[in-house]
Amino acid sequence: MLLVKRVLTFFGRSVDEGFLILRPQSELALELERIMEPRFIGSGHWSNAPMYRVIMSLIRKRPRDLVKLLSLAARHAREDKSTLIRTPHLEASFEEYSQGRIQDTINEFRSELPSIDRLVLNMKPNKRERTAKAGYVYTTDALLKKIENITQGGESFKFSSGRQASPKELAAFLYKINFLTARKETTEGIVRKYFEENRYLSNQLADFGFDWEIHPAYRWALQPESVERELYSLLHLSVDDVR
């Protein structure tokens, strides 16, 4: 809604926020066709997907993420002398956008976990996980094992208070800062939940039928050597963004 409001205002149209709030995402997206092509011409799960679903799946439900991503894409569109943001302009923005989200997260939460950079950067898929096309989605047990392996590779992680952090506490921390999202496969598609929406999920990493997934916003920074086609084949867009 934020983006639609900004576009309508730019073109001099009146804005009724109450009306916009009641409209589904698919209808709001029609207002964006003056600034971007309606479909993402990609591959894998992204092939011919509505552009708004791609954008909504890449931001962490934060307005500043939306501004960052589209500002980068608009810059590439301008360099290309295009009047619309097109698929190549977004693709050219993904790595820089992802690197920025990693750095923002480290800067924002270093005061709580001084070694956050070591934790976050070591969550990247290892060779075995990449071979198995895994490394971004974890069961609770697999997530805790991944973090345990990271802690064994260096000094123990401590919160700013000096208290040592257990793997469960580190996993809950990664969910709290939206590095991880809760993920469930349904017959309709992938449902993702953020900490602000379901805080109880991080309570001792209880099993409520959800797995854990590294948020799409971070993946290009964690695996820059990967070809984009591989990421497109592994990353499902969110079904909860269809509405």
Q: Which element (helix H / strand E) includes 197? A: none
Say how far apart CA 97 and CA 158 lie, in whole Å: 29
Using CA atoms in the order 61, 67, 72, 75, what is the torsion angle rounded to 10 degrees? 150
Rounded Cα distance between 130 and 145, Å, is 16
Cα–Cα dist 75/182, whole Å: 33
The confidence score (pLDDT) of residue 37 equals 95
Domain ranges of the chain: 2-102, 110-241
Distance CA 167, CA 159 (A): 12
DSSP H/E element including 40: strand 39-40
- Report the 10 Å Cβ neighbour count for 141: 10
Residues 6+ apart with CB under 8 A from 60: 101, 178, 194, 215, 217
User: What is the DSSP secondary-structure string of 59-116?
Assistant: S-S-HHHHHHHHHHHHHHHHHTT-SSB-HHHHHTTHHHHHHHHHHHHHHHHTTT-TTH
**pLDDT per residue as tens, the chain (243 positions):** 677 777 778 777 777 777 777 777 778 888 888 899 999 987 777 888 899 888 988 988 888 899 999 999 999 999 999 999 999 999 999 999 999 999 999 999 999 999 999 999 999 887 777 665 566 889 999 999 999 999 987 788 999 999 999 999 999 999 999 999 888 887 777 778 888 766 555 555 655 678 899 998 998 888 766 655 567 777 777 664 443
Structure tokens at 88: 């190549």
Q: What is the pLDDT of residue 204?
A: 54
Question: Which class for 137: exposed (0-12), middle (13-18), buried (19 or more C-beta within 10 A)?
Answer: middle
- Which residues are bridge partners to 191 per DSSP? 184
b (16+ CB within 10 A) / e for 144-154: bebbeebbeee
pTM: 0.84
Q: Is 16 exposed, middle or buried (0-12, 13-18, 19+ CB in 10 A)?
A: exposed
Q: What is the pLDDT of residue 241?
A: 44
Length of the chain: 243
Nearest to 120 by CA among 14, 217, 23, 186: 217
140-151 helix and 167-176 helix, angle to the nearest 10 degrees:
110
Structure tokens at 106: 């480290």
User: Six-digit token pair at 213?
Assistant: 């997934």
